[in-house]
Amino acid sequence: MASDLFTPQKKERKTAVVTGAAGFLGSHLCDRLLAAGYRVIGLDNLLTGSIHNIGHLAGHEDFRFVKHDVSHFIYIPGQVDFVFHFASPASPIDYLEYPIPTLKVGAHGTHNTLGLAKSKGATFLLASTSEVYGDPLVHPQTEDYWGNVNPIGPRGVYDEAKRFAEAMTMAYHRHHRLDTKIVRIFNTYGPRMRLDDGRVVPAFIGQALEDQPLTVFGDGSQTRSFCYVSDLIEGIFRLAHSDEHDPVNIGNPAEMTIRQFAEAILRITGKNLPIESRPLPEDDPKIRQPDISKARRQLDWEPKVDFEEGIRCTIEYFSDFLQSRA
């Protein structure tokens, strides 16, 4: 890396490091931080992220991108005020293809980013996940629920990587008195998702736009709660600037079944397509709904974007993407 990533006259500005900066959520977080006046250093090894997600930031005077795998030692010169650790494969299709890198970025990557925050005296925020609750026996899920996770199942590489990352984050907070935050992210959707990442939102939208049957795993009775990306990022921004150190759920508590979601996509796209069933993947959660009482109380946050509005924006994004690829 260069000896200095920004010009000297900008050193008084707050600087944030974002790992996974070229990913779906990381790229939107970079946008939010830049809009708030931060200088941003984005790190990504581009294993599952895309440089196109941050292409609009090329030449931005307050943004620097460094291609780097954070599972290896991180060197950042100069001042750092915030470290946001968002690097990780996040969809089942990705972490099942890259199980070892997923475990490494949850373990070594978290250790390295915490070490960076400690050396700089920076605030650290970990992007954790609702998957730490596994296939929950408590509904809706509250932050004090310890979860029901199969540690040796195929999804365990992601679930346990995030659970370990949470444990290490809290250890740094307690032992080193580091200012740490943990956000447990529930299902999020919006522009910059990969069409082929295997998650239900891009899968159903892509199938509908290409006039293919919508494929539902199991009977479609399993539930999810969908949060639009701008709402999620605002919650994360508020958490980073709060005094809260324990995990906080950020998501939309409006719950629906996967079959209901498929029907909504067909209605909004105006398509008349069949819905076909596929075998349910191992350890697939049957229910997922966040209790966001803590976020409302501690952060004065709750989702604002209406489901239909958010889905229409996402459909428009994927429609433009498919047309550009044609």
What pLDDT digit, counting tens, does each position of 227-257 carry?
999 999 999 999 999 999 999 999 999 999 9
Q: How far apart are CA 160 and CA 102, in angstroms?
A: 10
CA 78/CA 88 separation, integer angstroms: 25
pLDDT digits (tens, 9 = 90+) for 199-218: 999 999 999 999 999 999 88
Neighbours of 65 (CB within 10 A): 20
Q: Quick one: which of 126, 54, 119 has its CA closest to 80?
A: 119
Q: Where in the chain is the domain with CATH 3.40.50.720?
A: 13-188+228-251+291-304
CATH number, domain 200-221+255-289+309-321? 3.90.25.10
Peptide bond into 77 cis (omega under 30): no
For 46, other C-beta atoms within 10 Å of its C-beta total 12
Report the pLDDT value the prediction gives residue 7, as an integer from 0 to 100: 60
Q: How far is CA 149 from the centre of its chain?
A: 19
Residue 135 DSSP code: S
pLDDT at 2: 46
List where CATH 3.90.25.10 sits in the chain: 200-221+255-289+309-321
Q: Find out whether 263 and 113 touch, Cβ atoms under 8 Å.
A: no
How far does CA 242 lie from the centroid of its chain?
19
Low-confidence residues of the chain: pLDDT under 50: 1-2
Report the pLDDT value the prediction gives residue 281, as an integer from 0 to 100.
78
- The closest of 66, 16, 25 to 187, measured between CA atoms, is 25
Looking from the CA of 21 toward its CB, the CA atoms found within 13 Å total 30
Of 38, 98, 133, 158, catalytic: 158
Active site residue 145: no
Residue 321 structure tokens: 């993407």
Phi/psi of residue 161, each to 5°? -60, -40
CATH T-level assignment (fold) for domain 13-188+228-251+291-304 = Rossmann fold (3.40.50)
pLDDT value at position 4?
65
Each residue of 258-273: pLDDT tens digit?
999 999 999 999 999 9
| pLDDT confidence of residue 169 | 98
Average pLDDT across the chain, whole number: 94
Say which residue the tokens 């600087």 belong to: 15
Reference 130, options 244, 23, 248; nearest CA is 248
Tell me the residue length of the chain.
326
Report which of 322, 312, 214 is spatially closest to residue 260, judged by C-alpha positions. Answer: 214
Residue from 222, 224, 102 nearest 163 by CA: 102
The sign one gets for the Cα dihedral 293, 295, 296, 301 is negative
